[in-house]
Amino acid sequence: MELIAKDIHVKLGRKEILHGVDFTARAGQLTAIVGPNGSGKTTLLRALTGELPYKGSVVMNGHDCARIKPHQLAMMRAVLPQAANLAFPFTVLEVVRLGLTAGLASDTPDMSDRLPLQALARVGLAGFEGRHFHDLSGGEKQRVQLARVLVQIWEPMLEGQPRWLFLDEPVSALDIGHQLVVMQLARDYAAAGGGVIAVMHDLNLTAMFADQVTLMDAGAIRATGTPDQVLTNERLSAAYHCQLQVNTLPPLGGAWILPQAAEAG
C-alpha cells in the first residue's frame, strides 16, 4: 500500500510554493522529507494532509484523499503539527484524549480509558496526565501532541490497510535522548506495517532512521531514494548552499554528516 501524490501545485497568496511535485511513500517505511528552510517540505506535508488547498492528486491506500470525508480520513491517518497552541487550560490527559475524537477501531470504554495512558508512557511522559498542558516545556508539549496523535491511530494496521502517521519536524524541540525515543517510535510504527512520513531537519537522525529520503529545494524534489543514495556530499551541499562532509560511521555503516567551516580568507 502506498501514498502517491502526483503533480502537486500549491500557491500561498500569489506565490507558487510547490511546482508540480510527485511524491510516493510506502507503508512499512519511514519516509523522511529533508531540505533547507523555505524549500517547501512543510508545504508538501500540509498538502498531503489536506491542510492546504492544492492542485494535483493525493491517493492514500488507493483512495483519493480529496474525496474522503474528514471522519473517514481521520481513521486512516493522523498528523502531528509543528507546534500547537491550545486555546483553553486542558490537562495533559484531556489533550491526549482528544485523539479519541475520531473514534477507536475497537472502541470500548476500557480501551478508551487505558489507551491515553499507554500513549503517554510510550512518549516517556508517564505520570504527566494530571499536569496542565500550558505548564509544560516546549519539548514536553510536543510529546503530548505525539501521544494524542498516536491514540488516534494506535494500531498501525486497520482491517488489513496501513494507517499513516504524518510528522512535521517531530524532534525539533526535543533533547537528544527524546529525539531517539520519538524516532524509534516512528520506526516501530513503520515496522508494524504503518506508513510514516516525517519532515526532518536533522540529517544525521534522518540517516539513522529513515528508509527513504526525499530531498527538496526551491519547491521541487531534487532526489529520492535510500539515505545512502540521497545524502551525498554534492546533493546536500548544493541544496543547503554550504559545504557538508558526508562520512561513513564505521560501526553502523550509516552516513554521518558534518558541516565544514566556511573557508577562511
DSSP 132: B
Q: Which of 101, 229, 247, 248 binds other proteins (CB under 8 A)?
A: 101
Please give the helix or strand (H or E) that residue 78 lies within, else none. Answer: strand 77-80
CB 144 within 8 A of CB 133: yes
Q: How far apart are CA 167 and CA 214, in angstroms?
A: 14
CA distance 119 to 228: 33
Give the helix/strand (H/E) hosting 145: helix 138-152
Report CA-CA distances (Å) from 21 to 7, 55, 73, 92, 239: 5, 10, 22, 38, 16
Q: Which stretch binds other proteins (CB under 8 A): 20-28, 123-131, 181-189, 244-252?
A: 123-131
- Least distance in Å: CB of 89 to other proteins? 6
Stretch that binds other proteins, among 20-28, 88-96, 190-198, 203-211 (CB under 8 A): 88-96
**Per CB under 8 A, does 91 bind other proteins?**
yes
Buried-exposed string 165-178: b where 16+ CB fall within 10 A, e elsewhere: bbbbbbbbbbeeeb
Footprint (CB under 8 A) of other proteins, residues 19-78: 46, 49-51, 69-75, 77-78
Q: CB of residue 114 vs other proteins: minimum separation in angstroms?
A: 10
DSSP-derived secondary structure letter, 28: T
Q: Which stretch binds other proteins (CB under 8 A): 2-10, 54-62, 94-102, 184-192?
A: 94-102
**Does residue 138 interact with other proteins by CB under 8 A?**
no
Cβ contacts of residue 93 below 8 Å, gap of 6+? 116, 117, 120, 129, 130
Q: Does 132 bind other proteins (CB under 8 A)?
A: yes
Q: How far is the CB of 230 from other proteins (least distance, A)?
A: 28
Tell which one of 31, 142, 152, 179 touches other proteins (CB under 8 A).
152
Positions that interact with other proteins (CB under 8 A):
46, 49-51, 69-75, 77-79, 81, 84-95, 98-99, 101-103, 113, 117, 127, 129-132, 135, 152
